Every structure is written in structure tokens, then in C-alpha cells.
Structure 1
Amino acid sequence: MINQTTVPRPGAAAQDISQRVVGLVHEISVWIAGNAIGILIAAAIGTFIALVLLGLRGIGCRIIRQGADNLHWRLIFARALAKTHLLFIILCSAQLVAEHANTPTALRQLIQFLFVIAASLQAAIWARELILGFVEHRVGPEADRTTLGSATGIIRLLVSVALFAIAIILILDNLGVNVTGLVAGLGIGGIAIGLAAQGIFSDLFAALAIIFDKPFRKGDNIRFENINGNVERIGLKTTRVRALTGEQIIVSNTNLLNKQLHNFANLERRRMTLMLGLICQTPPEVCARLPDILRRIVEAHDNTSMVRAGMVGFGASTLDFELVFDVHSTDYDVVFDTRSAICIAILKTFNEADIQLAYPSQTSFTAAPDGTLIMPYPDVKLLATDDLDEADNETGEKAPTARG
């Protein structure tokens, strides 16, 4: 005997749906008739909540119109409030009415289902606006939008995908779907993608570190290793630095952040050090007056301050002095010109005071076997003796005998 499965006719299915709809409508009408006061109270509360949310959204839109050019935390929260969707407001009010008005089970489940979807998506939208607003706040209006636009665009994409994926998983979980396998699959897929693109993600996160931590910005003068130059472009993978010697240095963001960086952009002053070498015949009294002389020279120039000056040691053929002063300027051209002017002023003052700067020199002496110093060249010695004899004949006096 063959079992036959009874297939419902389309007309019977449509009739069954219509009967359910009619039953639901009847149940709702009975519920409204029997709970009129509770429904009115809950509806009033829901309307008040809806008006509050609409008011908050309106405040956010007004703040955006007033401060569109000044990004700060007040504007960030205003942008999040302005993204509040009208459907979420309506479903939020309906959920409050359904929870406190003895709503029929079928209608309450439908409202709760729609509210879960709207709330999850709305939470993702709010979180997205707050995170992206924080990113823009950290980047700042003075940052190079053209070069960092690709990085911020990738951040926007990653944040959007992550948040809405979480929202979808929450919706499915509330609907009773087992999301364990989905979460595990997403995790394994993320690990595989991360390992495959490890180098790219390393430079990407280095670019994000530059955005948030701001070790340098476009136009800053930096030094790393033996390279000194100005930052021209901060890209998604590399940073371009124009060296002082003229060439463009391209270095990956990861390698650049792994080095010790010197940023000269935020200097309030530059400290200059000059080494001066005087001849060994300089009197001690002059050496004692030299710090005051140098102080007057430094303080005669604008935007300079004396740090220290004094004798620091004895060289092979010099008396060594050190002069340290600060130039209060962030412009290196101004610093360079000030240092040059101070050097010229020191040279002029030394010439007027007959203070001689030392230069490399060497004197050779020749000694006899007994240690007596003698002239190194016999011809020179004979010439010197003849000159002394002629001087004796002309003056009639015996000139001092030259010894050597």
C-alpha cells in the first residue's frame, strides 16, 4: 500500500492566512476595548519618549549647522544624535506601549522583533558616528586630508563592516539562530586574511599610529638615523621626506616608527654651542674677563639668551673656551643668521681688544748632546754672527751675543 502525502491547496493556504489575520484583528480589537486606559497611558508615555528623541535629534542638527567648521566632542555627539532614524523612534515608542499595556502575544512579538532590528542597526549607526568622529578629531583640521584620506577611508570601511556585522549577528541571535558557527567562520577568515596581508596591515596600522599619536605631521622637520629633512607626504604605506640635500627619501611607515625620531617642528628655542681657542700667551686677566665679554655680545642681539660661557680646558696649542646660548625662534634661517651675527661680533670685539684666536702652529728646537739648544741651521747662525759684528762697528757698543 502506497502512502500519499496530502498537499494543501493554494486556496486553503490563503484561507488559513486570512483566518489568522482576522483572528489577530479581532484579538487586537478586544484588547483595545478591554485596556483602553492602559493603552492611553502607555501611548502618552511612548509619545513623550518619541518627542524627546525627536528633540534630541533636532538639537543635534542645529549644533551641526552652527559648528560645522569646528570639530570637537560636542559636535561629534551632535552628529550621532542627528543620525537617529525616525523608524527607531516609532518602534521605541511602540515597544514601550507593548510592554506596559497588556498587549496580545502575537502583536508584542512582532513589535519586539522589529524593535530588535531597528535598535541593533541604530546602535551600529551611533557607534559608527562616534568612532569616525573620534578619528577625525584626532586627525585634526590641520592634517593633510589629501594624503590621509585613503587611511581614513579604510578606517571608515573597516568600522562600518565590523559594526554592522555585529548588529546582524545580534539580530540573528535574538531570532533564535545559532550564530556560533558564523562567528567561528568569521574569526578564522579574519586570521587567514591577516596572515596573508601581514605586511600591508603592518604599514596600515603604522599609518593609523601616525594619525592618532601624531609623532610628526606634514611640513615638520624631522631627523632619523643620518637623514634630516621635511615631511612632504604621509601615505597609507610610506612616508616621503625631502632631505636637506635635495633628494626625496621614501621610507615605510613601519620602519620609520621603529626608528628614533627627532622632531624639530615644536621647538621654542634652539641651543647653539661655539668653541673658541685662544693662543696660550693670552694673559689670565683677559681669560677671566672673557665670559662677561661674550655675555654682552650675546645679549646685544634680539631673541637670544645667555646660557653659559667659560674656559673648559687646555688644548695642544690653545686655551679652550665654550660659549652656549639660546636663540628663541623656530625658524632655522633666523637661528642661522643670529649665530652668524654673533660670530662676526665676537671676531670684531677680539680684534679691538687684541685678543688673538689660535691657529695650528708648530715650533721645532734642536738641542746639542748636552741638552743645550742650538740653531738648527749653521748658515743661519753664521749670518746672525756677521749681523752682530756689523752692529758693533756702527754703534761702538758690543751687541748682545746671540745664542742658539
Structure 2
Amino acid sequence: MSNTNSVAKAPIFNASDVGSQAQGFVTASLAWVQAYWLQILIAFGAGALIVLALHTARRFGSRLCERPRALNGWGIVVGKAVSRTSNFFIVMLAAKLVDGYSAAPGEVATTVNFLFTVAAVFQVAVWVREIILGAIEHRTQSEHYSGEALLSAMGLIRLLVTFVVFAVAMVVVLDNLGVNVTGLVAGLGVGGIAIGLAAQGIFADLFAALAIIFDRPFRRGDSISYDTASGSVEAIGLKSTRIRGIDGEERVISNKNLLNKEILNNTQRNHRRAKFIIGVTYFTPAEICARIPDMLKDVVEAQGKIFVRAGFTGFGASSLDFEVQFDSDGPDYASFYNGRTAVGIAILQRFNDEKIEIAFPTQVNLTAAPDGSMVMPFPQVQQARANTPST
């Protein structure tokens, strides 16, 4: 019974053991210094040079941030990441590089490896975080993506990126320490799935907004068409895009739904094409009809438009149909609209000068007499027949 009590009351933390371990560590360190003092001095000098070089690289990264046009803006992203290099990582990297040369004892080497692993993993996490956020900010700082709604989304994006990156870093560190992280990874996975399912609509629109930023199917101020709607993009937000319709109305559509549709970016047109269908009467002589395509070409070119083609398209119900196609250079709709009007009026004027009649739908009704004979519609014709002598 007494033995059981003595075991139960035995202290978990034994100060004498810690003291002896510390004394042993000091003794081993002193012996190491005495035996390898020259190598230690050389390693210390080499480590100092490495620290100086890394500090110089960090200052260079800070200078890149001060150059707005460095590498088209990407130099700022890289420079900001480099400038976030911590002093702890610099010192531990230098210690790790010279550790083997100085023949450090096992206790010191183990400590250096552990601290270097922690420093390296979290430093890489900081670099990855800064590069991701810097790339997104580089895109959003464009004048076409500077809407307040999208910029306010950077807070949420920053939080998500920070959480994911440092969660992965923590798992890597614990795994290197020998901790079984299987349960932790499974818990993070289940939690992530639950959050994703609960907010899948928000995340879908958020990722769609990022897709708009990076893929750039359109920008703020562009004129676009989707489904049967058209308008000018006024704002690209975290969840939705606002489009000013051609009738003045504001259309709000979620980013995900918008990207699922076929989008026509009218601002990116290199030309606009117009087409006229012109019908002339069946009384128009064939030789004049043969000249109509050249007439249409001359009219189009005289108005400064780009002629594409013109020709006969078919026999209509009451007209001989011709078609002319021409382009207006550039995406400007007002210039296209006015040019189309000018070409149409010029065609009408040319046809009037050439005495070519433009057809319109006509219909002739003929009346029959009770005996089935045709009754002519004009009285003078009937009178002429009445006065015709019989043979």
C-alpha cells in the first residue's frame, strides 16, 4: 500500500533532472567550442555574410514596391513578398547553411533543424499569401475594376487566403514534429465542406468575380449583350454585376449567372456590319438590274464605308430583291448608326436619279361577269371595246 502511495505521489516535473540536462547541454557546448572554435568562427562569419545578403535582397524588394511601373506592376507584387521576409527566417537560414560545417553536437543540430523548419514553413506561407493577394490587388487596382463593392471584397478574400495558407502551414509544422495530423486534416476537410455547402452561392459568385478579374471578358464601361439584353457595365461587385440598360434601367445579375451565358462584348468589336434588302419592281429592265450591284458599291464607298458585297438575292412576291452589305470601322454605335442612315438615303437618291422604282407590296383584284368573262377594271377600256366594229 505504501509503495502505491509513493508512486502516486512521485512528481511529474523533476527539477533535478532538468538541471542535470541543462548542465550536460552546457558541458557539451563548451567542449564543442573548445574543440571546433576555428570552424565555429568561420561558420559565424559565413552566417553573417548570408544574413547581410538576405537583408540586401529584402531592401531590394522594398525598393521594387516604390516603382509603380516595375515589370508592369508584377515587380511590386514580388517586391512586397520579398520585403515580408522575417529576421527570424534569415537568421535560421544562415544557421542551417553553416550548421554542418561547424560540426555542431546533436542537441544543437536538432534545435537548429526544428527552428529552421518552423521558420521556413511559415515564411513560405507568408510569401504565398503576399503573392496571391498582390496578384489580386494588381488586377483590382485597374481603373476598370475599381468599384467599391469589389475592393471591399478584398477583406473577405484576404481572410480566406490567410486562413487556408496558414492552416496548411500549421499542418506541415505539426507533421514535421511527429504529430499525427490525420485527424486534424480530416476535421479541417469536413469543416471546409460544411462551410462550402452553407455558402456555396456566395463562394460561386465570389469565384466568378475573380474569374472576371483575371479572364477579363469585359470591363467596367464596356457595352455588352447577353441573352436578349444589352447595356453598359457600371460596376463589378463581389456577388453581382450592375449593367445600365439601353433604356436607362439598371440590371443586376449575379456573376455566376452572367458567366454562364454567352456574352457579346460590343466594345471589343473591330467593325459593325449593316445590311439592306432592296426590292425593285418587275418592270425594271434586266440590263439595269445587272448594274444595280455596282451602283450599290459606288454609293457605299462614296459614303466612306467599307463595301463587303452586293447582289441579286431572289424573286420576291412583288419585287426583284437585291442585298448590299457594308461595314463601319470601329465599335462606335453612333458612327455606325449615322453611317447607315447616310448610305440608305444615298441609295434612294441614286435610284431616283436612275429612274429605278423601288417596289412595294401590290395586289390586283379582277372581277368576273355572271357568264364567267373577265370584267376589265378601267371604263375607258370597256368603252373602247364597245366602239370596236365587228368583223
For normalisation by structure 1, the TM-score amounts to 0.86
Instruction: Look up the equivalent residue of 2:31 and give its one-letter code.
Output: V
Preserved contact between residue 66 and residue 76 of structure 2 (Cα < 8 Å): no
Preserved contact between residue 140 and residue 151 of structure 2 (Cα < 8 Å): no
> Alpha-carbon deviation of 1:107?
2.1
Q: Does 1:87 align with 2:88?
A: yes
Residue in structure 2 matched with residue 199 of structure 1 by the alignment: 201
> Alpha-carbon deviation of 1:228?
1.4
Residue in structure 1 matched with residue 68 of structure 2 by the alignment: 67
Q: Secondary structure at the match of 1:259?
A: coil
Per-residue Cα deviation, 1:159-206 (whole angstroms, up to 9, x for no partner): 111111111111112222211111111011111112222222222222
> Alpha-carbon deviation of 1:29?
2.4
Instruction: Look up the equivalent residue of 1:221 and give its one-letter code.
Output: S
- For 2:254 and 2:54, the matched residues in 1 are separated by 47
Structure 1, unpaired ranges of 5+: 390-398
Preserved contact between residue 67 and residue 76 of structure 2 (Cα < 8 Å): no
Q: Secondary structure at the match of 1:50?
A: helix
Q: Does 1:32 align with 2:30?
A: no
- For 2:126 and 2:344, the matched residues in 1 are separated by 64
> Alpha-carbon deviation of 1:90?
0.8
- Give the count of matched residue pairs: 385
Per-residue Cα deviation, 1:316-342 (whole angstroms, up to 9, x for no partner): 111111110010021111111111111
Counterpart of 1:255 (choices 257, 261, 264) is 257
Q: Are residues 43 and 401 of structure 1, via their aligned partners in 2, closer, same or farther at CA, if it must alter by over 3 Å?
A: farther
Instruction: Look up the equivalent residue of 1:114 and give its one-letter code.
Output: L
Preserved contact between residue 151 and residue 208 of structure 1 (Cα < 8 Å): no
Mapping for residues 157-196 of structure 1, pairs under 5 Å:
157-196=159-198
Structure 2, unpaired ranges of 5+: none
Residue in structure 1 matched with residue 276 of structure 2 by the alignment: 274
Per-residue Cα deviation, 1:199-241 (whole angstroms, up to 9, x for no partner): 2222222222222222222222222221111122222222222
Residue in structure 1 matched with residue 291 of structure 2 by the alignment: 289
> Alpha-carbon deviation of 1:70?
6.8
Residue in structure 1 matched with residue 115 of structure 2 by the alignment: 114
Moved more, 184-193 or 132-141: 132-141
Q: Secondary structure at the match of 1:265?
A: helix
Residue in structure 1 matched with residue 363 of structure 2 by the alignment: 362
Instruction: Look up the equivalent residue of 1:214 and give its one-letter code.
Output: R
Residue in structure 1 matched with residue 220 of structure 2 by the alignment: 218
Preserved contact between residue 47 and residue 97 of structure 2 (Cα < 8 Å): yes
CA-atom RMSD in angstroms: 2.8
Residue in structure 1 matched with residue 345 of structure 2 by the alignment: 344
Q: Are residues 202 and 66 of structure 1, via their aligned partners in 2, closer, same or farther at CA, if it must alter by over 3 Å?
A: closer
Residue in structure 2 matched with residue 392 of structure 1 by the alignment: none
Q: Are residues 66 and 202 of structure 1, via their aligned partners in 2, closer, same or farther at CA, if it must alter by over 3 Å?
A: closer
- For 1:80 and 1:401, the matched residues in 2 are separated by 108
- For 1:400 and 1:46, the matched residues in 2 are separated by 130
Instruction: Look up the equivalent residue of 2:75 and give its one-letter code.
Output: R
- For 2:115 and 2:326, the matched residues in 1 are separated by 72
Preserved contact between residue 65 and residue 75 of structure 2 (Cα < 8 Å): no
Preserved contact between residue 139 and residue 212 of structure 1 (Cα < 8 Å): no
> Alpha-carbon deviation of 1:269?
0.5
Q: Are residues 250 and 98 of structure 1, via their aligned partners in 2, closer, same or farther at CA, if it must alter by over 3 Å?
A: same
Residue in structure 2 matched with residue 231 of structure 1 by the alignment: 233
Mapping for residues 303-342 of structure 1, pairs under 5 Å:
304-342=305-343
- For 2:229 and 2:31, the matched residues in 1 are separated by 83
Q: Report % sequence identity.
A: 46
Q: Are residues 401 and 153 of structure 1, via their aligned partners in 2, closer, same or farther at CA, if it must alter by over 3 Å?
A: farther
> Alpha-carbon deviation of 1:62?
1.7
Per-residue Cα deviation, 1:34-57 (whole angstroms, up to 9, x for no partner): 112222332333233223322222
